[in-house]
């Protein structure tokens, strides 16, 4: 199974500041035939189910604010929130779907400083 | 409106059984692969099982293989998870999720149902 590891486990960022979350997979999730990274990011607000934010490592899901961006390729990925808003307090999960089983990172808890 | 509603969770003794249901609406259920994902208290997300639209392909995570059975009734727009030989470590919130196989991610999630395995 592909192991997905996020860092840090938690972080606190001031409102309006940038937040950066990292995700590393134990093997490449880049599919050479279509040049796509099978990596998604989800946001889970307290008491709510996860919500898809980004797929293909960098494509925002419809309706997701453009302050959220994803980058990276192969084994190393980053979720960036350019200007933190109060409603962004949540746990963020990355997930690989390069092969089965799809595996998630342990989650990163984002709080307001 | 696209919606998934889980039901069937509850308190069960170790070794017991439970069947979860997930009622889908607002999309073509029969064309959609579906997954069950769980989250144990204080833990991360764990994929449990997946089934293709026509039930041709079924997958299980190793911890539940041989104990859980995923199925679907496309005439009722409903997904199921039959859980047997339940263990304390199966205690979790269980979500059903619609898979978007064009982008290999889970784009719709239910609100979840809680399973507690305890004596």
B27 touches chain A (CB under 8 A): no
Measure A96 CA to nearest chain B CA, in Å: 9
Tell me how far apart the alpha carbons of residues B50 and B60 are, in angstroms, rounded to a whole number.
Answer: 7
Confidence of residue B103 (pLDDT cuts 50, 70, 90): confident
Structure tokens at B99: 């898979």
Average pLDDT over residues B113-118: 98
Structure tokens at B3: 């919606």
Average pLDDT over residues B41-64: 96
pLDDT of B101 = 84
Average pLDDT over residues B85-98: 98
Mean pLDDT of residues grouped by 10 in chain A (113 residues)? 97 98 98 96 96 98 97 98 98 96 97 97
Tell me how far apart the alpha carbons of residues B33 and A25 are, in angstroms, rounded to a whole number.
Answer: 24
A97 touches chain B (CB under 8 A): yes
Burial degree of A87 (CB within 10 A; 0-12, 13-18, 19+): exposed
Verify cis geometry, omega within 30 degrees of 0, for the bond prior to A8.
yes
pLDDT of B102 = 86
pLDDT of B32 = 97
- Note whether A51 contacts B109, CB cutoff 8 Å: yes
A25-B93-B2-B80 Cα dihedral, nearest 10 degrees: 100
Which residues pair with residue A78 across a beta bridge? A22, A71
Q: Which of A23, A21, A7 is nearest to A96 (CA)?
A: A23
Chain A residues in contact with B107 (beta carbon < 8 A): 52, 61
């Amino acid at each position: 199974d592909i192991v997905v590891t996020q860092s840090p486990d938690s972080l606190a960022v001031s409102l309006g500041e940038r937040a950066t979350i990292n995700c590393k997979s134990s093997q490449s999730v880049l599919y050479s035939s279509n040049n796509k990274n099978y990596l998604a990011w989800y946001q889970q607000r307290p008491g709510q189910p996860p919500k898809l934010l980004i797929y293909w490592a960098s494509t925002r899901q419809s309706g997701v604010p453009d302050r959220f961006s994803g980058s990276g390729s192969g084994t190393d990925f980053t979720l960036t929130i350019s200007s933190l808003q109060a409603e962004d307090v949540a746990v963020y999960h990355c997930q690989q779907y390069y092969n089965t089983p799809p595996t998630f990172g342990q989650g990163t808890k984002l709080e307001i400083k | 409106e696209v919606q998934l509603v889980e039901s069937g969770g509850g308190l069960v003794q170790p070794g017991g059984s439970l069947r979860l249901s997930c009622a889908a609406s607002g999309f073509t259920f029969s064309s959609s692969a579906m997954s069950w994902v769980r989250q144990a208290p204080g833990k991360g997300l764990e994929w449990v099982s997946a089934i293709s639209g026509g039930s041709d392909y079924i997958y299980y995570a190793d911890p539940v293989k041989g104990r859980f059975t995923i199925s679907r009734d496309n005439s009722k727009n409903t997904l199921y998870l039959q859980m047997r030989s339940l263990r304390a470590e199966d205690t979790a919130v269980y979500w059903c999720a619609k898979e978007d196989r064009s982008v290999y991610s889970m784009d719709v999630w239910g609100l979840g149902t809680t399973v507690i395995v305890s004596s």
